């Protein structure tokens, strides 16, 4: 991915502790820093072709970016699927870290139109509770 252009859809996650979230995404999951604005409590990160923006929570009544109070776990009702070329190194790194998975490593099949897509996948929660599902297509 070009470092100057983000994908057409880039979720922005409000986080309770930006430095802790950056450490988790970079050191634990292997994301790279695209750019940041520390004075604003903001960072953009990427893993392969996937990009996320992280923003330090600001509890202000007139904040147009916050619809309701942010109760934990954050991101209820959504999981972010992040496709990777090779799931194994990330999975091994997580197993060595002792981090609990929300969905253990599995193989799954999904119908996509008239064909079936097979994937290896697992899911975990980030420090604020956002669900992250990492997926790798299985080629037959």
State the DSSP string of the chain: --TT---S---EEEES-HHHHHHIIIIIT--EEEEEEGGGTEEEEEETTEEEEEEE----TT-TT-SS--PSSTTTT-EEEEE-S-HHHHHHHHHHHTPPPSEEEEEEEEEETTEEEEEEEEEEE-TT--EEEEEEEPP-
Whether 72 is covered by a domain: the verdict is: no
Decide if pLDDT at 24 tops 70: yes
Confidence band, pLDDT 50/70/90 cuts, at residue 60: low
Range of the domain at 124: 12-59+78-137
**Span 79-135, pLDDT tens digits:** 999 999 999 999 999 999 999 999 999 999 999 999 999 999 999 999 999 999 999
The domain total for the chain is 1
The CATH code of the domain that includes 93 is 3.10.180.10
Whether 7 is covered by a domain: the verdict is: no
Whether 73 is covered by a domain: the verdict is: no
Whether 38 is covered by a domain: the verdict is: yes
């Amino acid at each position: 991915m070009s470092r100057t252009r983000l994908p057409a859809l880039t979720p922005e996650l409000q986080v309770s502790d930006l430095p802790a979230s950056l450490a988790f995404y970079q050191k634990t999951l292997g994301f790279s820093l695209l750019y940041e604005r520390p004075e604003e409590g903001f960072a953009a990160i990427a893993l392969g072709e996937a990009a996320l923006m992280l923003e330090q929570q600001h509890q202000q009544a007139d904040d147009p970016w916050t619809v309701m109070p942010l109760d934990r776990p954050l991101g209820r009702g959504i999981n972010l699927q992040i496709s990777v070329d090779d799931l194994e190194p990330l999975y091994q790194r997580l197993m060595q870290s002792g981090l609990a998975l929300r969905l253990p490593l599995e193989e799954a099949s999904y119908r996509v139109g008239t064909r079936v897509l097979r994937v290896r996948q697992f899911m975990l929660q980030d420090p604020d509770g956002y669900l992250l599902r990492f997926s790798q297509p299985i080629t037959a």
